[in-house]
Amino acid sequence: ELDHVDEAIQRMRAGETVLDLNGHFLSSQDADRLAAELARNSTLRILNLNKNNISSVKQLAWSLQRNTTLQRLHLDNNTIHEGAAQLARALQSNEALRLLSLHGNYGIAAEDVRELRRAERRRETLKCFLPWPGEEE
């Protein structure tokens, strides 16, 4: 029997443009498996990973440095506390992403939120929704 991640990877390989994995109890390890596929994928435009149990997005950040087609990444209401700084760095080289949503991830360090805000300001085409508004510099 295929789990949600195996099925999602098969759908990505089949050319799916939207994957909605909202509320599937995915772990960081599941997100890492998706990230490995995302790094070489050229069709996916929207990935919804809202309301899961993802605590680290380091591998997703790594995949964003390689992926050139993902436009929207939804990570709201997870337990993210690792990898936000790497996401900010990935946004420096990734020109495709238009929306990054991280609402409800209150474990993200304030400095990482500031880095993400700076990354957003450097790219006119990017909108970030972060756990809190952050401090203006």
Q: Encode pLDDT of 35-85 as tens digits.
A: 999 999 999 999 999 999 999 999 999 999 999 999 999 999 999 999 999
51 Cβ contact list (under 8 Å, min separation 6): 22, 23, 76, 77, 78
17 against 2, higher pLDDT? 17
pLDDT band at 133 (very low <50, low <70, confident <90, very high): low
Alpha carbon distance 82, 84 (integer Å): 6
Residue 27: the pLDDT is 97
Whether the per-residue pLDDT at 126 is higher than 80: the answer is: yes
Q: Are 97 and 128 in contact (CB under 8 A)?
A: no
Q: Which tens digits make up the pLDDT trace of 51-60?
A: 999 999 999 9
Residue 137: the pLDDT is 40
Q: Which tens digits make up the pLDDT trace of 101-120?
A: 999 999 999 999 999 999 99
Global pTM?
0.94
Alpha carbon distance 73, 71 (integer Å): 7
Residue 1: the pLDDT is 55
Positive or negative: CA dihedral 137, 97, 130, 92 = negative
Residue 135: the pLDDT is 47
1 against 131, higher pLDDT? 131
